[in-house]
Structure 1
Amino acid sequence: MTVSTRDSVVAARTEVPTRAPSVVRWTALCAAAEALGMTAAAGASRVGHTLADRTGLLGGAGAALAVVVVGGLVEGVALGSAQAWPLGRWLPAFRRGRYVLATVLVAGIGWAGASAPAVLTGEGGGTGPPFSLVLPGAAGLGLLMGALLGSVQAIALRGATSHPWRWVAANALAWPPAMVVIFVGAGLPSADTPLALLLLDGAVTGAVAGAVLGVVTGWHLASLTGPPAHNRVVLDLLASPWRGRLDRRVLGLEVRGRATGRRYRLPVQYAVDDDGLVVVPGRPERKTWWTNLTAPATPVAVLWGGDWVPGAAEVLRPGRPGYEHARTTYARRWRRTRLPAAQPVVRIRYAGPRIESRAGNP
């Protein structure tokens, strides 16, 4: 059978990626982009102040505004391009141009719009309100800008990831601290600061702000195609020495996709009895992980006590042997949980150290 070139392209574009860009690389790219962008914005601000005081064809408010807009566009193009490069290598169906354009429209033009009033009115820094007022305002502006930028970028990510709208929360969390850094750095120079020091301040401020942005959004990258961020937080805690009593209520479960072979890890509530563990998939019509447990003893892994250990899982439905016993075990442990009559349950037997009844049941 011959596979056409078009079919090969479609298959490549729909292939599920396996690994997100590393947080270190993503952070470095964001830091470099913001260093370049903030340097350009700082230089544009100084040139804009100079042009605003001049008259003639190359002076006045129009020329100053044009320079500030160009500086903002440089920042937007730099950040959008730096992020689009690893995303394009990771996501086959990702469209770089659309993502860069979305970033320019919000980050670039937004930054230019925020800078323009100070340039056109001749406020050169050092005379603004105190930081006690500026910093909360910067954080609030970052929250709004992050949510807006994340929304526009999420639209550009549609079709390339399974969960593009999670990018909104990632940016809404990342931009408030990044914007605080930007406002602090932008408030340090005065109108008399030499141009070289002004550009250096812009580069350092941009690098620090970009690093903050990169760390937060980079940590969320895997959530675009995998489990949500809060699931990863819980799993990391369960695997750490600081899990406390969390594993008395929750454990980690790893299953493999029956079609893709990919591993899926998620935290689940559980109950325990003499036959092993019992897990109930909440809203089973919406969840899919449990549908991969097709064999009577499907291989799984369980995270409890800080370690992943192998096990075997089986889906039990009403009428199957052992169903009522497993359902009763779970209902006794989680008395406030109402289980529908047709609720499937998952029985897990695993090879790790025995979980005593008092750990899973009160």
Structure 2
Amino acid sequence: MNTTTAISFQYIKNPAALNDAQRSQRLQAPGFGRVFTDYMATIKYSPDAGWHDAKIEPRTALSLDPATLVLHYAQEIFEGMKAYRLPDGRAALFRPNENAKRFRNSARRLAMPELPEAFFTEAVRRLVKQEDKWIPTEEGSALYLRPFMIATEAVLGVKPSTEYLFCVIANPVGSYFKGGDDGVSVWVSDTYIRAAVGGTGDAKCGGNYAASLAAHAEATQHNCDQVVFLDAVERTWIEELGAMNIFFVFKDGSIQTPPLTGTILPGITRASLIELATREGISVREEPYSIDAWQQDALSGEGVEAFACGTAAVITPIGNVKGRQHEFVIGDGRPGSTTLMLKEKLTQMQNGRRPDPFGWVEPIN
């Protein structure tokens, strides 16, 4: 079994890879999640061989037996990360080791084999090096990376698979949310929950997102961009905004975010913003915050800003909140000064336009 800290990748050329002119055309307005690069990274797992058969190969459709376990019992996990273009022309990743650690945690929760962190980061780095020309340079753009792992054993039975495929695909992306200067509108769901203690809330698995789609549809029906999930027991405490972590800014300049108690995904952007805000002299609390307190603070002027954060959207200001029992505006409904300051400092750091005192940005030579 391969338990070393290094793995050898085989390179397979893609004869159908786009030329420079075709690639340039695709990069004009890539949107989000629609345009994909020419290659992917793959590693297979089996009990006898361990992690093996690592490749950088042409991106193509996967061939799966109809009885493949992932199709029936959802044994699947994934990550989201980005590669950025630095001013000196190099590509760079942002805290890839944190993604690798979270991927292992998700695998453990879903009873899947843990991919060594060195294998994870090597696969990501090699794919970025291969697809370097796909990294867009426009403001707010990046090369989005989607590492994932699926159960590939073909058998109908509720059990962990014996075989797995780890894969990394990439797509150039623009801004996640489109719109004007106002913050997004959010719907407070009192019908659906995202996670409960002992569940998979702190794992990044597809089932969590599938279960959230009905709540998102409910938000759309009420002309809202996103949904606010409350806790599963009391339906009182704010947990996440859709697939993103959430922060609240108060009149005294302090920031608060819900604590990680096993039901909330430990976001890498979340952790980075806590460290960045603390370095800027901002008091940050990781404490429970109720939906009723949020409404009261917003109406009284104590709560002046709110924003969500994640790899895809980076930082998204929240303008107004609606629900069957709640309706209020955050501040003046527009992005606040603390939100804008943190977004600028983080994105400028990620793009190499501001010093990185934390050592988070890792150039790929």
Calculate the TM-score normalised by the size of structure 1. Answer: 0.26
Tell me which structure has the larger Cα radius of gyration: 1
Higher RCO (CA-CA < 8 Å; seq separation 6+): 2
**Which structure features the higher share of strand residues?**
2
What TM-score results when the alignment is normalised by the length of structure 2? Answer: 0.26
